Amino acid sequence: MKRQILAAVALAAGMVSSPLAWAATAAPGDTSCLEPIRLHSWNVVNDRTVIVTDTARRNYKVSLMPGCYNLKFAFRLGFKPFSPSRLACMGRGDFITAPGDAGMPRQTCPIDSIVAYTPEMQHADAVNQALDKPH
C-alpha cells in the first residue's frame, strides 16, 4: 500500500514538474530567447527569413526550413510553439503559420533556428542586399 501511495505521489510530482522542465525558460538578461507572449511585430525578408521584434524592442532572425513561399504577401503570421508554456523560448521545431488569405493557401513553416539579430548582422544583410541588386 505504501509503495502504491509513493508511486502515485512520484507520478503526480512528475506530471506537475514536466511542463516546467520541458519548457526552455530564459535566464535573466538572455537576449536570444523569443517568447511567444512577447511578440510585437515581424518583417518577412524572404521565404526563408523573418525578422521578429519583441515587446522589449529586441530583434530576432528567424530562419525557416525550405517549403514555404510568398510569405511577403501574407497579411498575417502566426507563431506556434511546441511547448504548452507561453513563456518558453521558441526555437527549432516550432512553427510560423500563414493563414490562407486572398487566394494564398494556408502554410505551416517549420523554424530552423532563432538568433538575436544584432546591428552587425543587420548591416551585413543590408550590404548583401545592396550588392545583389542590379545596377
Please give the grid coordinates belonging to residue 34.
523569443
Categorize the per-residue pLDDT at 60 as very low, low, confident or very high, splitting at 50, 70 and 90. Answer: very high
Shortest CA distance to 62 belongs to which of 77, 73, 52?
Answer: 52
Task: In whole angstroms, give the CA distance from residue 21 to residue 13.
Answer: 12
pLDDT tens by residue, 11-50: 444 443 333 333 344 444 455 788 988 999 999 998 899 9
- Please say whether the beta carbons of 122 and 59 come within 8 A: yes
Q: What is the pLDDT of residue 22?
A: 34
The pTM of the whole model exceeds 0.75: no
Per-residue model confidence as pLDDT tens digits over 94-135: 999 988 776 777 889 999 999 999 999 889 888 888 887 776
Q: What is the pLDDT of residue 102?
A: 66
pLDDT digits (tens, 9 = 90+) for 61-95: 999 999 888 888 888 888 888 888 878 899 999 99
Rg, Å, the chain Cα set = 19
**DSSP classification of residue 102:** T
